[in-house]
Structure 1
Amino acid sequence: MFQMDTAQACSAGYDWFRSCWNVVPSSKEDCTISQKHRLQGDCLFVDTKIRGCEGHRGENEIVHSQEDGLYVTLYNAGGLRFSAGSRESVMQAGDILLWDTSLTGSFDCRAGASGRTILFPRRMVERRLGSGNRISGMQSDRHDARTLLLRSYLEKLHDLAGKTAEYILNDLLEASLELTYLCMIGGDDLPDRARTRAAFQDIRKDIRDHIGSEDLTPAASAARLGMSLRSLQTTLSTHGTTFTALLANERMKRAAQMLRSPALAGASLSEIALSLGFYDQAHFSNAFRRYYRMSPRQYRNLS
């Protein structure tokens, strides 16, 4: 994902920023850029403050950039004009912006702005959302209740980085992509439940049929079912869930069945965990305990 060493990225500061953008002062005032970078799990966490500058990102900057993925930026203060493709946004405190790093763009920040960003790697974006190009430049409504909830969640995710086991953090990050997308697109145009009930059951069956498979992602499931990724996501949203939440629910149901099965009485917890797609027994036990309020061993002894 990132060719630049983390320590190098953190110390490069202004020069690192200029490797991604062609930056010039926007006035006679000093052009100031301050960035802090942390590589946590598979994602890059960035805190940025800029003032008195404007920048353009063309093909040359894209080729030489160390970034490849989808930016999700929370604007905390100030104002910034941003354009990507045909979309132009005036970002202010409280806004959230999605931007694909493979696309050209420009910004103008004369008065100053600050924000927090998560750069999700390309492979994670494609697994969860498909192409990031179609949502690049998407801006939230800062007055929408969904935006307020999403901001609160993403802020907590920033705070968790560096304090959480990497495999748990990566699970949270992947789920966050779906949550971010669904909050950003809103629900006004979602189809009603009656018209999507069959599709919802097909998605649930596909998850059940492929539990434990490495190829169990929203994109892979949509491809197997012959539907677009957006149709899959909006269908799940209509039924009040996400792919990640539905997968977690189906895994726990299957786990309970396996622990109760006389035919699997001799199977170890590690074997059951791996068959369900968990990293290891500890990952499985923690998830099971959160869901059933008891450990897998305790549950098995009750059966």
Structure 2
Amino acid sequence: MREIFSSDDLPAAERLAGYREAVGQALVPVNVHADPGAPIRVRMGLMMLGQVEVCSVSATDDAHVEISRPRRLIRRSDPEAFRLLLALRGRIQMTQGDRSPRLTPGQMAFYDTSRPFHGSRRTINGRLHLVTLTVSRGLLPVADNLVKSMIAAPIAGRHGVAALMVDVVDRLLTDATRYTAADASRLAPVVLDLMTAVLSHELGDDAGRPASPESRRRVLHTSIQAFVQQRLGDPGLTPRSIAAAHHISVRLLHQLYQEQGETVAGSIRAARLERCRADLGDPLRAGCSITTIAARWGFTDYAHFSKLFRAAYGLCPRDWRHQHQP
């Protein structure tokens, strides 16, 4: 993810003006309103996943900030898009039309860039983090009138497909620096499928043309990957346990991974090794033994772990740690 604005780069007296300039030049420009002396501390990042624009905004201030998108800005720049706004931390209140939801962590709502909106944000315990995903209208396989019926309607992200959307966005941001251009192009249809799945779930059975079998399989595969990432430390994580948790056959599970050029066991092993590699290079874990770190991520046989690690990274765990610890 590319950083497009950081208030830390500016003197305190210039931060509000800098923030206004940054959001005024965005794909969907908005006005920013705050007291002239407001203690603005904001960071903005941008990432393109194919035709999906992912924007991250985090704040660590107590300023009361309002934004607005009047018709004047719409005439100046309108990508004719739908935007999914997701609150990860803090409180966000957005108004479009006759709806004015107050989004708390884990909640989300769709907005139309062609219609005026305004809103405000507040930190919770000095922190706020929101993410927007903006896509052209034609990219969502749901009729525009049905999407518009969901505009500014709050969607809870604690269960089901919406919860998966929250998990995937959180993971996207966590691993953003590791994605190649090829990764981004592959992730774009997955994100679009998840946005479509969220809409379809909220709309019920009349959500426009049905999702394709390929779309449903991509969403299922993404759900499985999120499930696996949360349980990498469990030595009992097996194809059978994963398939049972998702009410599918082990055969279908293997097919889903084969379609992505992967195997179930190989994908789990690579993810576990990457977590171990990160821990071995983390100064905060310098006091942890390598055996403890390996066991933490599901490797109960140290000799086997050491062999796998050397094959993956060219060094045994002890030598790798020696080279990469500060």
TM-score (norm 2): 0.51
1:232 maps onto 2:209 in alignment: yes
Kept in 2: contact 1:32–1:52 (CA 8 A)? no
1:65 maps onto 2:77 in alignment: yes
Q: How is 1:68-83 mapped onto 2 (pairs within 5 angstroms)?
A: 68-83=80-95
1:181 maps onto 2:194 in alignment: no
Among candidates 95, 104, 127, match of residue 107 of structure 2: 95
Kept in 1: contact 2:199–2:207 (CA 8 A)? no
Query: Partner of 2:47 in structure 1?
Result: 38
Kept in 2: contact 1:82–1:106 (CA 8 A)? yes
Query: Structure 1 residues 182, 9: CA separation in 2 closer, same or farther (over 3 Å shift)?
Result: same
Kept in 1: contact 2:20–2:31 (CA 8 A)? no
1:168 maps onto 2:168 in alignment: no
Kept in 1: contact 2:57–2:131 (CA 8 A)? yes
Query: Partner of 1:221 in structure 2?
Result: none
Kept in 2: contact 1:84–1:137 (CA 8 A)? yes
In 2, the alpha carbon distance for the partners of 1:67 and 1:124 equals: 13
In 1, the alpha carbon distance for the partners of 2:3 and 2:174 equals: 22
What SS does the aligned partner of 1:23 have? strand
Q: How is 1:235-250 mapped onto 2 (pairs within 5 angstroms)?
A: 244-245=215-216
Task: For residues 117-144 of structure 1, give each alpha carbon's deviation from its aligned partner in whole angstroms, at most 9, with x where no partner exists.
Answer: 222233313xx12324333213212444
Structure 1 letter corresponding to 2:48: L
What SS does the aligned partner of 1:61 have? helix
Using the TM superposition, give the Cα deviation of residue 47 of structure 1 relative to its aligned residue in structure 2, in angstroms.
1.0
Query: Partner of 2:244 in structure 1?
Result: none
Among candidates 92, 117, 131, match of residue 116 of structure 1: 131
1:29 maps onto 2:49 in alignment: no
In 2, the alpha carbon distance for the partners of 1:74 and 1:7 equals: 19
Using the TM superposition, give the Cα deviation of residue 153 of structure 1 relative to its aligned residue in structure 2, in angstroms.
2.8
Gaps of 5+ in 1: 1-5, 191-228, 250-284, 292-303
Structure 1 letter corresponding to 2:23: F
In 2, the alpha carbon distance for the partners of 1:8 and 1:151 equals: 21
In 2, the alpha carbon distance for the partners of 1:24 and 1:31 equals: 11
Query: Structure 1 residues 182, 75: CA separation in 2 closer, same or farther (over 3 Å shift)?
Result: same
What is the root-mean-square deviation in Å for CA atoms of aligned residues?
Answer: 3.9
Structure 2 letter corresponding to 1:23: V
In 2, the alpha carbon distance for the partners of 1:155 and 1:7 equals: 16
1:129 maps onto 2:139 in alignment: no
Kept in 2: contact 1:21–1:57 (CA 8 A)? yes
Kept in 2: contact 1:72–1:97 (CA 8 A)? yes
Query: Structure 1 residues 42, 124: CA separation in 2 closer, same or farther (over 3 Å shift)?
Result: same
In 1, the alpha carbon distance for the partners of 2:57 and 2:116 equals: 20
In 2, the alpha carbon distance for the partners of 1:289 and 1:110 equals: 44
Using the TM superposition, give the Cα deviation of residue 64 of structure 1 relative to its aligned residue in structure 2, in angstroms.
2.5
What SS does the aligned partner of 2:138 have? helix
Kept in 2: contact 1:22–1:55 (CA 8 A)? yes
Kept in 2: contact 1:32–1:53 (CA 8 A)? no
In 1, the alpha carbon distance for the partners of 2:87 and 2:50 equals: 23
In 2, the alpha carbon distance for the partners of 1:154 and 1:70 equals: 17
Alignment size in residue pairs: 204
Among candidates 16, 21, 30, match of residue 22 of structure 2: 16
Structure 2 letter corresponding to 1:287: E
Larger CA deviation: 147-156 vs 81-90? 147-156
Using the TM superposition, give the Cα deviation of residue 87 of structure 1 relative to its aligned residue in structure 2, in angstroms.
1.1
Among candidates 114, 131, 154, match of residue 139 of structure 1: 154
In 2, the alpha carbon distance for the partners of 1:173 and 1:146 equals: 12
Query: Partner of 1:54 in structure 2?
Result: 66
What SS does the aligned partner of 1:88 have? coil
In 2, the alpha carbon distance for the partners of 1:145 and 1:173 equals: 15
What SS does the aligned partner of 2:90 have? strand
Using the TM superposition, give the Cα deviation of residue 160 of structure 1 relative to its aligned residue in structure 2, in angstroms.
6.0
In 1, the alpha carbon distance for the partners of 2:3 and 2:175 equals: 23
In 2, the alpha carbon distance for the partners of 1:56 and 1:121 equals: 21
